[in-house]
Structure 1
Amino acid sequence: KGLMDGIRAKGALVGGFVKFMMGFWAFMKAILGFDFSKKFFGFITGKVSLNNVRVLISGGGPLAPIVVKQYNRLGMSFIEGYGMTETSPISTLNPMEAYKLGSVGRVLPGIEMKIKDADEDGNGLVCVKGTIVMKGYYKNEEATREIIDDDGFLNTGDIGHLDDDNYLFLTGRQKNLIVTSGGKNVFPEEIENEFQLYEDVEEVMIAGYAMQDGSEGIMAVVQPPDALIKQFADDKESCVARIQKTIDEVNRTLATYKKISKLVVTYDPFPMSSTKKIKRPVALKMLKEKGLI
């Protein structure tokens, strides 16, 4: 998002030209099978020292497809992996030569992976077994039994599905799941990914909230960027209205049961983990104490 913000800051003419050329070179790559965009966009990627980078490696969380597409159109490719400390270190890999957009990769040799309690869309709890799985938590048998079953499968806490080629697609964390009034499962991370390239959103957290009929609705808690906060320092209503336009735009891309029905704007930074993920329970507690939710 920061890279594209820099392009937009040059004005509508420059932004429009770059966007057009990104689409043009993507089309030429599909036709000719050769990528000219890396050389062409060197004047942009060089500004952030990416012009000589051959491949980008991503981990720590699923990479939003919209971000991958953006970098691909600038001539850069990704390798993505999935794992956790307890599975030392990865159990899937999405390689450049067989990259699947939206997936965290194909299950590696010697590793068993199963989807437990899958729903109608095939999404369920991701469980892993193999020599990569830890023996257990040090001097904590109870915690070990909670995460590793009798068959040796480790409960990752992630929800996802496997395709016919054994590629894993993650949809969210089990503990963050929102269940709507119609019984539909909504994964906050899926909706949050839709905001990746919007300049009016610095951070966003999707969460459930209790509606008057007792069902659970979808709420977006947005932290605006500093530039927007300064722009509307004396007019917070206009700031909220500006962000609501972004919410409306994202809602047009979402299924009916995933649409955001409540917006909360916070002008304070979210509490973040060392891996730059929002600490959801801490953030929700903070927002409740401030009377925002």
Structure 2
Amino acid sequence: NGNLSRKPFNYRLAKRLVFRKVRKALGLDRCTRCYTGAAPITKDTLEFFLSLDIPLFELYGMSESSGPHTITVPDAFRLTSCGKVIPGCKTKIFNPDADGNGEICFWGRHVFMGYLNMPDKTEEALDADGWLHSGDLGKHDQDDFLFITGRIK
């Protein structure tokens, strides 16, 4: 049946009568999704945008990892998670505690080779196996979504 993916009538009515006006007043009437990065975003902010039918997707990475390392996408989404690792990349939680929190480390072809003419700083960031130590604390849930829980640097 081609109608299985249709949204309920009440939702479609609210979108037409309410969401559309609020989104237009905020200048978001043509927005279908937003991406955020650089800092964790609060659950309240995520819920606000979701209440306007605008999903906010999080990206996580560093300049040293050529940008994003994890991403949230429409079919793989958890509130306050920065998503799952991008294909071809690896994430490791270094020295996890009893709750699974540890330093987030990146590995992959997207990770930089080092800081130019700064071997000491490069050695601090990259370990002998090529893992980039982010200085961020995080953990994975049972479905491999990454959650940032703090900073160690």
**Which residue pairs with 1:102 in the alignment?**
80
CA RMSD of aligned residues (A): 1.8
For 2:124, which of 146, 149, 155 is the aligned residue?
146
Return the letter of the residue paired with 1:165: D
* Aligned match of 1:81: 59
3-state DSSP class of the match of 1:127? strand
Going by fraction, where is helix more abundant, 1 or 2? 1
Q: Does structure 2 retain, via aligned residues, the 8 Å contact 1:78–1:96?
A: no
Distance 1:96 1:139, change over 3 A: same
Asked if the contact 1:38/1:76 (under 8 Å) is kept, the reply is no
- Give TM-score scaled by structure 1 length: 0.47
TM-score (norm 2): 0.87
**Structure 1 residue 137: Cα displacement:** 0.2
Q: Distance in 2 between matches of 1:143 and 1:97?
A: 38
When residues 33 and 76 of structure 1 are mapped into structure 2, their CA distance, relative to the original with a 3 A threshold, is: farther
Could you list the runs of 5+ residues in structure 1 that have no partner in the other structure? 1-30, 176-293
Rg larger in structure: 1
Residue 46 of structure 2 is aligned to residue 72 of structure 1: no
Q: Hey, which of these two has a bigger chunk of strand by percent?
A: 2
Q: Which has the higher contact order (CA 8 A, sep 6+)?
A: 2
**Runs of 4+ off more than 4 Å:** none
| Correspondence 1:54 to 2:32 | yes
Structure 2 gaps of 5+ residues are 1-6
Alpha carbons of 1:59 and 1:137: their partners in 2 closer, same or farther (altered >3 Å)?
A: same
1:89 CA drift (Å): 0.9
Residues 54 and 102 of structure 1: CA distance in aligned 2, closer, same or farther (over 3 Å): same
Provide the rounded CA distance (Å) in 1 between the counterparts of 2:92 and 2:119. 23
Q: Indicate the residue corresponding to 1:159 in structure 2.
A: 137
Please state if 1:112 is matched with 2:112.
no
Whole-angstrom CA distance in 1 between matches of 2:86 and 2:9: 28
Distance in structure 1 (CA, Å) of the matches to 2:76 and 2:10: 16
CA contact (8 A) 2:76 2:83 kept: no
